[in-house]
Amino acid sequence: MDEKTLIAKRVALELRDGNLVNLGIGLPTLVARYLPAGVNVFFQSENGIVGMQALPEEGMEDDDLTDAGGGPIGAVPGACAFDSAMSFGLIRGGHLDVTVLGGLQVDQEGKLANWMVPGKMVPGMGGAMDLVSGARRVIVAMQHSAKGESKILKRCTLPLTSARPVSLVVTDLAVIEPTPGGLLLRETAPGVTVAQVLANTAADLIVPDDVPVMPITA
């Protein structure tokens, strides 16, 4: 199983039946494929729908039904559409149970940077700041390192997405939970040792005596 699949599968285990979930573009989108049996969730797309799903097949596109990237999607029976103010009312008002977002950096306090690299990439924050400030649970799904450098740092060097800590960080090496006391190592990926996680993490980690392996099977 490749790293992205591993991350997506582990994140999927965090979703509960009936949850309203918003998946960011890229890796987080994969989470939808790995919902555990018996867990039915509603996916929101912040451009204005609850109940999005993948397009069933080519040739079924509707020009008026797209995801936040502008790509064609489908909708489940019972989907509902609304304007942007309502869409972010759901996000900011605490109605969104879970958002899964990509990350550039996460710091020791659990704060996320994922929307810009000054001088290089200034795409705009889109809905990311509202999602991180408003969702009940914010799960970061990302590679643990990029170009050999840890993305989990003592302090983010990139501009923050929110001053609010995220709820959980899932990487190809570990599951890490930001707590008031610091970053808690919750799980390691299959075949990865605690020592490997520590070696690849630039932030301090709280390591309990027993660190279970992610309950992921192929």
Is 28 one of the binding residues for other proteins (CB under 8 A)? no
Site string for other proteins, 97-136 (x = CB under 8 A): ------------------------xxxxxxxxxx--xx--
Beta bridge pairs of residue 52: 75
Q: Cα-flanking dihedrals φ and ψ of residue 201, to 5°?
A: -120, 120
46: annotated active-site residue: yes
Q: Which of 14, 46, 109, 187 is labelled catalytic?
A: 46
Residue with tokens 């605690």: 194
Q: Is 74 in the site for other proteins (CB under 8 A)?
A: no
Segment contacting other proteins by CB under 8 A, of 7-15, 84-92, 177-185, 186-194: 84-92
Should residue 27 be labelled a site residue for other proteins when binding is judged by CB under 8 A?
no
CB 57 within 8 A of CB 87: no
CA dist list (Å): 71 to 25, 54, 61, 65: 11, 10, 9, 8
Q: Does residue 202 contact residue 154 with C-beta atoms inside 8 Å? A: yes
Q: Which residues are catalytic?
A: 46
Q: Which residues bind other proteins (CB under 8 A)?
A: 17-18, 20, 42, 45-51, 62-70, 75, 77-85, 87-95, 121-130, 133-134, 159-164
